[in-house]
Amino acid sequence: GENVEQHPSTLSVQEGDSAVIKCTYSDSASNYFPWYKQELGKGPQLIIDIRSNVGEKKDQRIAVTLNKTAKHFSLHITETQPEDSAVYFCAASKRNSGGGADGLTFGKGTHLIIQP
């Protein structure tokens, strides 16, 4: 099955600096890569996603890049703010031939700490 590795496990950056979180996946058939933000006591919330036919996607201060050949994808957060502090998860999934939906395989999470 799919295996997703995520690094680093903890990332501390100064407010205003950029943060980068990296993930690799094992199954070349995976074609959907979402990123989730989880705040304390809450469920994961989708912040951005990318499909395998796209190399980069940006939404305001957040961007995701995908390298299908190397099987890795990254989350970039620019101009970090205190409210960006949370645990971030990358995930990967593929759609089976029957057109149904597979579940997400998650990385182990990155605890992002924004230092004021």
Partner 1 sequence: DTAVSQTPKYLVTQMGNDKSIKCEQNLGHDTMYWYKQDSKKFLKIMFSYNNKELIINETVPNRFSPKSPDKAHLNLHINSLELGDSAVYFCASSQGRGSGFFGPGTRLTVL
Provide the binding-site residues for partner 1, judged by CB under 8 A. Answer: 32, 34, 36, 38, 42-46, 49, 51, 87, 89, 95-96, 99-106, 108-109
Quick one: 3 or 67, whose CB is closer to partner 1?
3
Quick one: 20 or 87, whose CB is closer to partner 1?
87
Number of other residues whose CB lies within 10 A of the CB of residue 48: 19
Q: Helix %, strand %, coil % for the chain, to 5? A: 5, 55, 40
Q: How far is the CB of 16 from partner 1 (least distance, A)?
A: 27
Element (H, E) at 14: strand 10-14
Quick one: 98 or 116, whose CB is closer to partner 1?
98
15 contacts 116 by C-beta, under 8 angstroms: yes
